A and B are shown apart, each in its own frame.
Chain A
Amino acid sequence: MAKAPTFDIPAFREDLASPAVVPGAMDHSQPFVASPDHQADLGFPGELVDDWETKAVEKLGELLEKNRALRVYLDSCVKCGACTDKCHYYIGTGDPKNMPVARQDLLRSVYRRNFTLAGKLMPKLVGARDLDKDLLDDWYKYFHQCSQCRRCAVFCPYGIDTAEISMAAREIMDHIGVGQKYCNEIIGKVHKIGNNLGLPKPALINTMEGLEEDVEEETGITVRFPVDVKGADVLLVTPSADFFAEPHVDGLIGYAKVFHQAGISWTVSSYASEAANFAMFIGSYEQMHKVAARIRQAALDLGVKRIVFGECGHAWRVAYSFLNSLAGPWDFLDPKYPKPQHILEVTNGLIKSGAINLDTTANDDKVLTFHDSCNVARGSRMGDVEGGQFIIPREVIKASVNKFVDMDPGTINEKTFCCGGGGGLLTDDLMELRVKGALPRMEALKDVVDNHGVTHMAAICAICKSQFAKVMPYYGFPMDMIISVHQLVGDAILLGTKE
């Protein structure tokens, strides 16, 4: 595994031109299949069921009834081509099946064959086909080469959301016994242990105590890292990577310093020690509900007044867009605060009100840029103004550092590129895809490094942080160039000097 990669690293494009089409370039790429045990934990069949062709079509019919948007997306494509070169996986691989329209057509063809009159009568004329094993194999490969980042939807004149189509396809595959190991094993761990990592309560407490010691050693100030404290005001729900990985943990230290300095009592829960909700990636409403219900239970058990989410991209999409329907109503929380609230909203508010003070010179060794995470950028919002999800993170960074430069406008805000590892693809068995899919972001980064001396890229998503730490070295950037936004805050915050 430490060996040289068995694939070519894509070259930076001189003119950012559309890549040459290479049919079948990623035909070999697919993630490990979930074992029968992992499937059973989620109530899915352990292996490909008998009569799977019929059952898959039945499941598609069920999804079409439940999700009207899915039918609209499958009906409305006019093959205009606007999406073709907008996907980072197409840009990085050249595989034409990674053009969003081609990815959609994998499902659309089966929809047309079974649910439209034209497709039933004259399938060949309308691109309709029966679901056979070859097509199912393509589903498994290419719906796991979509990170559900929704960039293509920004450019589609009809707003067709490939993410919804990819989620539906994964949901159908789970129901006929073809699950993906990475996502399904992780969701099973959340049901059993409470987080993606499988971090049990004693380990969580040990980790948090260790952080308390570290911060005290470094600053001389006792900053608490509370676990399961009943009656705390804030329940912090953060990705379990924040307890484990680098540079995530520096973000967690930043949140703790912010709460400490603002005098906000807070706690994490060992029962709901995970912000991520991987059930969204597999398109399962039932699983999403089950994962989100843990947060509600923890909030009730601990008697908190507010729920704050840490830096996690898709968690914030689920929290901002669906938490109320998944696990609400949240009438027991304090109505003065958004339910839920993002840690960046909290920190930004405290900076603006003067409740915390930052010394930007603490970060003078750095020139920052910011990677907008796809699910935050295109699936949620922050604050109370349009585009708050772009404005607030940048305001917090600029309050923490003196030198900030944005990347090319075509690669940030709502047009941001996925890190290459989102949507349940952050797994070692997809390393080639992850490296190649990072190409457009790496190109935009190289531009600001070369022309503006950027030294660090900040992010607000655990997946983005892990993905970049892993793939940046392939492109000649050091792995520690990626940092948490709240690391910047934590390094700049003035502790114990409240006016």
Chain B
Amino acid sequence: MAYEVGGKTFESDEEGYLVDLASWNEELAGLIAKDEEIDMTDEHWEVVNFLRDYYNEYQIAPAVRVLVKAIKKKFGAEKGSNKYLYELFPYGPAKQACKIAGLPKPTGCV
């Protein structure tokens, strides 16, 4: 599988996760999100950017709890919940948001 943005091809795995993490850009993220039937709002971008920053530091996406805390800090208590993250990313904040952020899928019993 692959995504095409601006005449360029970006390879992905069977499930649509980007193969080359370094090739990610916002336009591509928008396309992946569209594929996932998600309209990207400021809150969506905040999650995606937080995931990317965390990944750059720790080579893994943050635990859902860590993400909830970060969003709470930024957008207030009413948005700082797992439930709210599922409203943003119905297939699950970890897997779906990682895909849009161009990060590998979390594996294991998750």
Q: Is the CB of A2 within 8 A of B96?
A: yes
The answer to whether residues A198 and B107 also contact, given A2-B90, A428-B15 and a CB cut-off of 8 A, is yes
Which of A235-243, A262-270, A389-397, A404-412 lies on the face that meets chain B?
A: A235-243
Q: Count how many pairs of residues, one from A and one from B, have CB atoms less than 8 Å apart in the complex.
A: 104
Contact flags (1/0) for A202-243 with B, using CB distance below 8 Å?
Answer: 110011001100100000000000000000000000011101
Question: How far is A491 from B65 in the complex, measured between Cα atoms in Å?
Answer: 17
Closest B residue to A211 using CB positions:
B65
**A182-B13 Cα distance, complex, nearest whole Å:** 13
Q: Using known A-B contacts A210-B66, A479-B86, determine if residue A203 contacts B60 with beta carbons closer than 8 Å.
A: yes
B110 contacts across to A, CB distance below 8 A = 197, 241, 244-245, 462, 466
Are A186 and B15 interface neighbours, CB within 8 A?
no
CA distance A125 to B66 in the complex (A): 62
> Would B82 and A196 count as touching, CB distance under 8 A?
no
- Contact-residue size bin, chain A (C-beta under 8 Å from the other chain): 35 or more
Report how far A235 CA is from B3 CA in the complex, Å.
45
| A186 close to B96 (CB less than 8 A) | no
Q: Are the C-beta atoms of A198 and B96 separated by less than 8 Å?
A: no
Q: What is the distance, in angstroms, from A140's C-beta to the closest C-beta of chain B? A: 15
A245:B64 contact, CB within 8 angstroms: yes
The reply to whether B96 and A1 contact each other, CB–CB distance below 8 Å, is yes
Number of chain B residues whose Cβ lies closer than 8 Å to a Cβ of chain A? 33
Given contacts A1-B96, A207-B66, A246-B65, contact A462 B109 (CB under 8 A): yes
Chain A residue with the shortest CB-CB distance to B93:
A246
- Measured CA separation A248–B109 after assembly (Å): 10
Min Cβ gap A478→B in Å is 9
Q: How far apart are the CA atoms of A240 and B61 in the complex, in Å?
A: 13
A residues 402-429 with Cβ under 8 Å of B?
A: 426, 428-429
Contact of A2 among B38, B60, B107 (CB under 8 A): B38
Instruction: From A3, A245, A312, name the one whose CB has the most chain B CB atoms within 10 angstroms.
Output: A245
Asked if B108 is at the interface (CB within 8 A of a chain A CB), the reply is yes
B67 to chain A, nearest CB (A): 10
Interface string of B67-86 (1 = CB under 8 A from A): 00100000000000011001
Bound form: Cα–Cα A463–B83 in Å = 20
Is A60 in the interface zone, CB < 8 Å from B? no
Chain B residues with Cβ below 8 Å from A195 are: 108
A26 lies within 8 A of chain B by Cβ: no
Contact A245 B94 (CB under 8 A): yes
Query: 3 nearest interchain CB pairs?
Result: A196-B108, A462-B109, A203-B58
Chain A to chain B contacts (Cβ below 8 Å), 24 pairs: A1-B16, A1-B91, A1-B95, A2-B38, A2-B90, A32-B14, A185-B107, A196-B107, A199-B60, A200-B60, A202-B58, A207-B63, A210-B63, A214-B69, A240-B109, A244-B94, A244-B108, A245-B94, A249-B63, A428-B15, A428-B95, A429-B14, A479-B86, A480-B83
Binding site for A on B (CB under 8 A): 14-16, 36-38, 57-60, 62-66, 69, 82-83, 86, 89-92, 94-96, 99, 104, 106-110
